[in-house]
C-alpha cells in the first residue's frame, strides 16, 4: 500500500544532555488508495435468461442489512429484484406489476425514516410514473405517483430528503420536456413543476449534507450544458449552470463527499465521452474538469456513477469503458482523482451500459452491478475491506547522556491512516508485536531496549474497528 522513499542519513549535534542524534531512516508513504479498495472478480447473480436487464439499480436496505437490486427486462419490461446478504444473492423474483404494464428507468432509494426501500419506474406503455415499496420480504402493490400532475414521465429518480424527512421523486415530462417532482408524505404523493426550462435526461438526486439541500441535475435541452436545481425542503431554486467546456452526454450523477464536505457531480462528455466532474464546496460549483484517464480506459460507454465509501472515506466513480466494455473505477481523495483501475473481469464479457454501485455498511463493502455486454445477464462485484496503512513513518536512534550513565533508544513517529474507522496502531520490532497505540494518543513509539548502533526493523500497521489490519510500513533504524 505504501511505496518506500529514499533512505536519508544525517548527523546532528546539539548541546546539552541530548548528543549525537542520528536520523537513520525516513520512509515516505505514498498511499495507493486504489489498492486499498480491493474488488473481487465479477460473478453472475441471476441465471434465468428471461430476466435480462439493461441496467441494474442498487440500494442498501439498512433496516434488514441487505442490498436490494432491481431491473427491468430489456425485452418484456417486466420488473425483477434480488437481495444480497453479503455472501450470496437470493433467487431473483418478479416485482408484481398489477396495474403497471412493465417498466423502464428503474431506480431505488432507501427511506431513512421508515426503513424501507422504494422503487420507481416509468410505465412502458402509458409513460405513467409508478412506485412500490420493499418491506423486507415483499413489495407493496405498485401505485401511480403523478396523479393530478403531468400525464407522461420518463427518467424517474427518487431519494430521501433529510431536511423534510420525506421521499422526493423527480421525472422528466415526456410531452413538454420540463422537470417535475413529487413529495411522499407517507400516504400520498403531491406533484409540482421544478422548472419551466426544457431539459435533457433529468438524472440523479443527491443530498448536500453541508447545506441541507437536495439537488437534481440535467443537461440543458438547448446546448446540453450541465445544470442543476436544489430543493430546500419547500421550494426549488432557479436553474443554474455548471461552468466549463464539457457538455453532458447522458445523465449526471452526484454524491456528497463527507470527508471533504463537498458535493461531487460527474458525467460523460457529449463529444469525447471522457468522464468529467465538478465540485460544490458549499458556496459555488467549480468549472468542469476531466477525470484523468489511463490504466486501459479513456472513454465512458454511458454514465459515470458515484458512491461514497465511508470505510475508505472517499468518493468512488464507476463506469464502463466505451472500447473494451470493461468496468472501471477511480477514487477521489477530496482534491484529485486516482488512476483508473479495472474491476476484475471474472466471468463477465463486459458491461452493456452502466456500472452502478452502493455502500453496504454492515459488511463494509462496496457492491457494484451491471448487465453483461454479450448475454445481458446481471453481474456484480464487491470489495473486501482493506485498512490503509499510516503515513509519513519516520524514525531515529538517539543517545541520551545523563549523569553517570548513557541511555540509548529508538523513536518512531507517524501520521494517521486515511481510513476513517481506525481504532489503534500496532508496532512490531523484527516481526514481533511490541506495542499498540490507540487513536487519540500521541502517534509515536520509543524503544529503550536496544544496543547502540545495532540495527532494528520496525513495522507500523493500522487496525480498524472490525479488526482488519493494514499492510505494514517498515522502517530500519541503526
Per 3-state DSSP, the chain is made up of helix, strand and coil in percentages (nearest 5) of 0, 50, 45
DSSP, res 18? E
pLDDT beyond 80 at 420: no
Bigger pLDDT: 132 or 26? 132
> What is the residue-averaged pLDDT of the chain?
85
Q: Which of 318, 336, 203, 329 is nearest to 260 (CA)?
A: 336
Backbone phi and psi for residue 91, each to the nearest 5 degrees, phi listed first? -60, 135
Would you kindly state where each structural domain of the chain is located, as residue ranges? 10-31+390-477, 34-384
pTM of the model: 0.81
Q: Across-strand partners of 253?
A: 266
Q: 131: how many CB neighbours lie within 10 A of its CB?
A: 22
Give the 3-state secondary structure of 53-65.
ECCCEEEEECCCC
The per-residue pLDDT for 453 is 80
The residue length of the chain stands at 478
310, 257, 250: which is closest to 276 by C-alpha?
250
Report the DSSP pairing between strands 103-111 and 93-94. Answer: unpaired
Give the torsion sign (CA, 369, 32, 253, 161): positive
Percent of the chain with pLDDT over 90: 52
pLDDT in tens, 90-101: 999 999 887 667
Confidence of residue 222 (pLDDT cuts 50, 70, 90): confident
Q: What pLDDT was estimated at residue 376? A: 85
CATH topology agreement for domains 10-31+390-477 and 34-384:
no
What is the percent of the chain where pLDDT is above 70?
89
10-31+390-477 homologous superfamily: Immunoglobulins (2.60.40.10)
- What backbone phi and psi angles, to 5 degrees, belong to 474? -100, 145
Within 10 Å of residue 82's Cβ, how many Cβ atoms?
21
For position 6, what pLDDT does the model report?
Answer: 28
pLDDT digits 0-9 by tens, 164-218: 999 999 988 877 888 889 999 888 888 787 877 777 777 789 999 999 999 999 9
C-alpha cell at 11: 548527523
For domain 34-384, the CATH architecture is: 6 Propeller (2.120)
Distance CA 51, CA 49 (A): 5
Contact yes or no for 102/78 (Cβ under 8 A): yes
- Higher pLDDT: 257 or 172? It is 257
Q: What are phi and psi for residue 34, nearest 5 degrees?
A: -60, -40
Q: What are phi and psi of 267, to 5 degrees?
A: -160, 170
Pairing of strands 405-415, 66-72: unpaired
Amino acid at each position: 500500500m505504501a511505496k518506500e522513499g529514499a533512505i536519508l542519513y544525517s548527523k546532528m549535534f546539539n548541546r546539552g544532555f541530548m548528543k549525537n542524534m542520528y536520523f537513520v531512516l525516513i520512509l515516505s508513504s505514498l498511499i495507493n488508495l486504489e489498492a486499498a479498495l480491493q474488488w473481487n472478480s465479477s460473478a453472475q447473480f441471476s441465471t434465468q435468461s428471461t430476466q435480462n436487464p439493461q441496467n441494474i439499480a442498487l440500494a442498501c436496505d439498512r433496516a434488514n442489512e441487505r442490498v436490494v437490486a432491481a431491473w427491468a427486462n430489456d425485452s418484456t419490461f417486466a420488473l425483477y429484484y434480488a437481495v444480497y446478504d453479503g455472501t450470496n444473492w437470493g433467487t431473483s423474483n418478479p416485482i408484481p406489476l398489477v396495474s403497471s404494464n412493465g417498466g423502464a428507468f428503474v431506480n431505488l432509494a432507501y427511506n431513512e425514516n421508515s426503513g424501507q426501500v422504494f422503487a420507481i419506474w416509468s410505465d412502458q406503455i402509458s409513460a405513467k410514473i409508478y412506485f412500490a415499496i420493499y418491506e423486507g420480504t415483499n413489495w407493496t402493490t405498485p401505485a401511480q405517483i403523478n396523479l393530478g400532475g403531468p400525464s407522461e414521465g420518463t427518467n424517474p429518480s427518487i431519494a430521501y430528503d433529510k431536511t423534510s424527512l420525506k421521499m422526493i421523486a423527480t421525472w422528466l415530462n415526456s410531452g413538454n420536456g420540463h422537470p417535475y417532482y413529487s413529495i411522499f408524505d407517507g400516504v400520498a404523493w403531491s406533484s409540482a413543476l421544478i422548472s419551466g426550462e426544457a431539459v435533457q435526461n433529468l438524472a440523479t438526486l443527491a443530498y448536500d449534507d453541508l447545506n441541507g439541500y437536495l439537488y437534481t441535475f440535467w443537461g440543458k435541452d438547448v446546448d446540453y450544458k450541465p445544470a442543476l436545481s436544489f430543493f430546500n425542503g419547500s421550494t426549488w431554486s432557479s436553474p443554474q449552470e455548471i461552468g466549463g467546456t464539457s457538455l453532458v452526454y447522458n445523465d449526471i450523477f452526484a454524491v456528497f463527499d463527507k470527508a471533504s464536505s463537498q458535493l461531487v457531480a460527474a458525467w460523460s462528455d457529449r463529444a469525447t465521452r471522457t468522464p468529467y466532474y465538478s465540485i460544490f464546496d458549499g458556496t459555488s460549483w467549480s468549472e468542469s474538469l476531466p477525470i484523468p484517464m489511463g490504466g486501459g480506459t479513456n472513454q465512458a460507454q454511458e454514465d459515470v456513477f458515484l458512491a461514497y465509501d465511508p470505510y475508505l472515506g472517499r468518493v468512488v466513480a464507476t463506469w464502463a469503458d466505451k472500447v473494451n466494455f470493461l468496468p472501471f473505477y477511480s477514487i477521489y481523495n477530496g482534491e484529485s482523482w486516482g488512476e483508473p483501475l479495472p474491476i476484475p473481469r471474472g466471468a463477465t464479457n463486459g458491461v452493456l451500459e452502466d456500472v452502478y454501485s452502493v455502500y453496504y455498511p454492515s459488511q463494509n463493502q462496496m457492491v457494484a452491478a451491471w448487465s453483461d455486454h454479450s448475454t445481458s445477464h446481471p453481474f456484480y462485484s464487491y470489495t473486501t475491506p482493506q485498512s490503509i496503512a499510516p503515513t509519513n513513518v519516520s524514525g531515529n536512534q538517539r543517545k541520551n547522556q545523563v549523569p553517570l550513565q548513557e541511555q540509548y533508544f529508538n523513536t518512531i513517529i507517524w501520521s494517521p491512516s486515511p481510513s476513517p474507522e481506525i481504532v489503534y496502531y500496532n508496532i512490531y520490532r523484527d516481526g514481533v508485536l511490541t506495542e499498540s497505540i490507540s487513536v487519540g494518543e500521541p502517534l509515536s513509539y520509543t524503544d529503550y531496549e536496544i544496543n547502540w548502533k545495532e540495527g532494528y526493523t520496525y513495522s507500523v500497521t493500522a487496525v480498524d474497528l472490525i479488526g482488519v489490519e493494514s499492510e505494514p510500513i517498515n522502517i530500519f533504524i541503526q
